[in-house]
Structure 1
Amino acid sequence: MENNEIKQVAIVGSGAMGSQIAMVCALAGHLVTLQDIEPESLVKAKAFLHEQMEKRVVKGRYTREEVDNAFKRLNFTDNIEDLSNANLVIEAIAEKLEAKRELFAKLDKIVAPHTILATNSSTIVSSKLADVVSHPESVCNIHFFNPVLVMEMVEVVKGPHTSDETAEKSMAFVKSIRKTPVLLKKEISGFIANRILGKLMDEALFLYENGYATHEEIDLVCKKALNHPIGPFALMDLTGIDVNYFVRMQRYNESGDEQDKPSRIVTEKVKKGELGKKTGKGFYEYDEKGIRVEVTV
């Protein structure tokens, strides 16, 4: 199986995840189209990527030529019809099942029959999307980790409908963009990393909500005692507190178990619009550049 079978890649959703996935693919030499229904989101994504890549040029991680060439390979569009030539489409929109099903149904009418349709979701397994397309054997999960520009691991998940060829091509593609793939032979919500991380998140929220320690102290323990690079509350701020909320609601909708619902504090934060770094406030506060504001008492 040759890596170059996938040459044109499309990413749907230009948020933090989608935009970074697009840039990683472009840096690896693929022709990439980043699509979003909101033109303003595409403008923000382009500015964000230029800012991030400029920092990496200054630090010597990439040359100016490498970055300039990557941007030449990266197209921004709000027209979903522009994805028709893609060999692989990666969906990176909000964690809402119906929205993803609607998108996959649209993509099915646009792309070629052999095109791989992948979701970046780690909560919604691809079998929940495969029945709306004509070629379910070409549907799978390709799950990146935030920040995509930094994190090396990618989980590729084979659903009961996913062909061996699709899984093999997806694994080869991940290697072609200089990431390390792991193949899950069957579906399970949360996959590997987030199932383990979810247990830690649940315990951290329990300790915080019941007054055992502050969120700052819990983050500090995780960093200094467990040697984690980032604490659970800072991580929720980075990925978006609403992501945690939608993941837990999806789990609750599937199980009906009250214990699967989002925690009280997460629900309160979402209702207030305090979603983390992207809104300037979550468990911590951030300035207009996204840098954490140290609060002194």
Structure 2
Amino acid sequence: MGSGVMGSQIGLVAALAGFDVHIYDVKQEPFDKAQQELLKRLDRRVEKGKLTKADKDAAWERITWTTSLDEAVGQTDYVIEAVVENVDIKRSLFEQIDGLAPAHAILATNSSTIVSSKIADATNRADKVCNFHFFNPALVMEMVEVVKGPHTSQETADLSMELAGALGKTPILLKKEISGFIANRILGKLMNEALYLYENDYATAEEIDLACTKALNHPIGPFALIDLTGLDIHYHVRKQRFEESGDESDRPARIIEEKVNKGELGRKTGKGFYSYT
């Protein structure tokens, strides 16, 4: 559900693993951009010998792009929602899906900020609702976090772990909910410190990134990572967490808010903490 960067890549991950996939969005326009990006990534894999052209074509044939919610979920076994980080929008969507998807279907959210207990009661199958969290870029990153809310059945958790393995991912199971889960909570502490050092003029974004990549051996620095995932995503995640906790330390950093207001969202707009031409 959702044909943005995460939704479209999750769909392709499933198609490459042999599953029939529907990628849904409310309108046709986002499909063109998503398809171009996915085909570019697939062609790159073929050029590097990581994928045969036959396998690429077969995976592409398994994907149906649709603006019909009924077509998307009417015969599905597992739904993965990857729409905007807004709990009201997610609840409305899950309520609609619940009325259309088969009774056995699991309804999962890819959100790492909004735990599924905030969504599950919008459905009549709370035991079949969980978080199923991929990392960006979903085609590359190996980890999936499966989160068992107080409403989630053990069967749903077990099937979700099994599916993650079938998709070629390495899953971990959180036995109870916590906003941000494991990886992003740890990463969030590093992000906070990086932003503090930057806003207080201790060093530039480039220098802080170099400290992380060259001294800590991280594959990418925190500012390059925010640019990659999108400053708007970072902003909305922190805003949601602040609204939940009321803790000032959870509030989006001033520099993030300024850049989002200027439309500097990272790679997707050509400028964030770095410029992309």
TM superposition score category, shorter chain reference: over 0.9
What per-residue deviation string (whole Å, max 9, x for no partner) do you get for residues 139-168 of structure 1? Answer: 000000111111111000000000000001
1:182 Cα deviation (Å)?
0.4
Q: CA RMSD in A?
A: 0.7
1:51 and 2:19 correspond: no
Deviation by residue 1:204-238 (Cα, 9 ceiling, x = unmatched): 00000000000000001100000000000000010
Which of 76, 92, 109 in structure 2 is aligned with 1:102?
92
What is the rounded CA distance, in whole Å, between the counterparts of 2:25 and 2:32 in structure 1? Answer: 10
Distance 2:271 2:103 in 1: 44
Instruction: Name the residue aligned to 1:23.
Output: 12
One-letter amino acid of the structure 1 residue matched with residue 147 of structure 2: V
Q: Distance in 1 between matches of 2:107 and 2:259?
A: 33
Deviation at residue 257 of structure 1 after TM alignment: 2.1
Flag structure 1 segments of 5+ consecutive residues without an equivalent: 1-11, 288-297
Structure 1 residue runs of 4 or more that deviate by more than 3 Å after TM superposition = none
Task: Return the alpha-carbon distance in structure 2 between the equivalents of residues 270 and 81 of structure 1.
Answer: 35
Pair 1:204 & 2:194 matched: yes
TM, length-normalised to structure 2: 0.98
Which sits farther off after the overlay, 219-228 or 43-52? 43-52
Q: C-alpha distance in 2, partners of 1:271/1:113?
A: 43
Q: Tell me which amino acid in the other structure corresponds to 1:77.
A: T
- What is the SS of the residue equivalent to 1:113? coil
Separation (CA, whole Å) in 2 of partners of 1:77 and 1:286:
32
Q: What is the distance in 2 between the residues matched to 1:129 and 1:106? A: 12
User: Deviation string for 1:108-144 (max 9, x for gaps)?
Assistant: 1110121100000101000000010001000000000
- CA apart distance, 1:259: 2.3
Q: Is residue 237 of structure 2 the alignment partner of residue 247 of structure 1?
A: yes
In the alignment, what sits opposite 2:81?
91
Paired residue for 1:75? Answer: 64
SS of aligned partner of 1:45: helix
**In 1, Cα distance between equivalents of 2:34 and 2:66:** 11
Q: Which amino acid aligns with 2:126?
A: P
* Matching residue's letter, 1:49: L
Alignment length (residue pairs): 276
Cα separation, 1, equivalents of 2:193 and 2:209:
12
Instruction: Look up the match of 1:159.
Output: 149
Normalising by structure 1, what TM-score? 0.92
- Residue equivalent to 2:52: 63
Paired AA for residue 96 in structure 1: N
> Match of 1:194, as an amino acid?
N
Separation in structure 2 between the aligned mates of residue 231 and residue 224 of structure 1, nearest angstrom: 9
Aligned-partner Cα distance in 2 for 1:192–1:29: 29
Which residue identity lines up with residue 78 of structure 2 in the other structure?
A: L
